Amino acid sequence: MVLGAHRRGDGGEGATGYLAATMLVAALAGAIVQSGVGLTVANGIGSAVCGVAQPEAPCRTAAPAPVRATIPAAVPTGGPTVMPTAAPTAAAARQGPAAGGSPAATAPEDLRWTDAIARYRWSRPSEQEMFPPMIAAGGPQPGSPLGAPVSGLTVREPTQPAFTRQDGGSGPWHLDQADPFMLPGLFSLHATLWDVAKLAQKSSPHASRNLLHFLGNSGTPLRQDVDRFLADVPGFAADVAEDQAALGRLAIKRARASRTTEPVTFPVNTSWDHWTQRDKKKDSDDWWRALGGINYNQTGQVTVWPSNEPGAPWRYEVTTRVNLRDPYDWEWPSTRAEHEDHSVFVVMHQWGLARDFLAFGSSRLRLRAGVR
């Protein structure tokens, strides 16, 4: 299966964990050809499965035919919407992150392959269903990461800004109507991908869960365990901590300029920023294949305490949560040799047997303190 993927506008997208699946290549590619799906898809699945068996040296295949449809400049409204996480109480803001580490991961849905196949649409979908925008509801885009300060130690946590996918993802959903003679081969291919994802549940639980949701063909948003992501990917956690320190320094700068003599608190709401593991030596192979690059922001507050002594440093305390938004989709293969061939997943999406979705989630409150 594909695994280290390349998404539109991203450094990577993922699927299942690495598995010993070499035995699938010959039988699966042969079955696809016999069922009439064609050389392009056979090459795609061969490369994808080989990428599982040989993750350090992905197989190369012939370049597939280009996608036959383009994404319209203006897409209809509609599509999945994620509601923002509720703002914490003042007491929760004062307490900062809860003790005891990250919460348990969200339990995977009780997905069955037959349920996924039952979602197959025998009729062509509407234009709105084929080209749905991927949107997460939220507030306006912040002009500054810090809002207006208030006296005291707490403020209400702002709502994270709205998020919209900026590209066409895997292309139009269910664009192609498969010939009835091709459907047995397509269903067999889908079942094989499903089985490989199921086999990866122990070794790569998050990648497996996300791929199964993609193959489940509902297109509904799927919550991610952001606390576990932060724990498993130390490179990202370090960048988040540095972001918090920068917010603390900025808050002290503004508080000094206001010549306050009492503690003040600024609401925090940052713009969406992109982050990818590609330059972080892949802290977690599971998460790399589950999400690849992500978009994140921080919401919460930063409190500044002025110094009572001239020339002494001021103190800050940042209490924020990390919010994640990531379109789970696939890019049509690049001609660059280092890109793995993920055409099989694009084909599953465009033939209506799988569907892109929005990955989202929020962490618990995280505390960082310092002086300046």
State residue 129's pLDDT score. Answer: 86
CA nearest to 211, candidates 224, 230, 198: 198
Which of residues 243 and 186 earns the better pLDDT score? 243
| Tokens 């590209």 sit on residue | 167
Let me know if 110 is exposed, middle or buried by CB neighbors in 10 A (0-12, 13-18, 19+).
exposed
Tens of pLDDT, residue by residue over 98-141, are 333 333 334 456 778 988 888 888 888 888 888 888 888 899 99
State residue 295's pLDDT score. Answer: 96
Question: Which tokens in the block code for residue 265?
Answer: 């608190």
Give the residue-averaged pLDDT of 277-300: 84
Round to whole Å and give the CA distance between 169 and 150: 42
CA nearest to 17, candidates 230, 205, 228: 205
CB neighbours (10 Å) of residue 303? Answer: 24
Round to whole Å and give the CA distance between 272 and 295: 6
pTM listed for this prediction: 0.73
State residue 278's pLDDT score. Answer: 62
Tens of pLDDT, residue by residue over 235-266, are 999 999 999 999 999 999 999 999 999 999 99
Please, what sign has the CA dihedral across residues 145, 317, 368, 82? Answer: negative
State residue 206's pLDDT score. Answer: 95
* CB-based contact 341:117 (threshold 8 Å): no
Element (H, E) at 165: none
- How close are the terminal C-alpha atoms of the chain, in Å? 50
Let me know if 171 is exposed, middle or buried by CB neighbors in 10 A (0-12, 13-18, 19+).
buried
CA nearest to 305, candidates 265, 267, 268: 265
Which of residues 124 and 95 earns the better pLDDT score? 124
Round to whole Å and give the CA distance between 97 and 322: 12
Question: Which tokens in the block code for residue 247?
Answer: 């917010």
Pairing of strands 222-223, 357-362: parallel
Q: Which band of pLDDT confidence, cut at 50, 70 and 90, is reported for residue 302?
A: very high
State residue 215's pLDDT score. Answer: 95
CA nearest to 290, candidates 229, 339, 199, 218: 229
Give me the chain's average pLDDT, please: 74
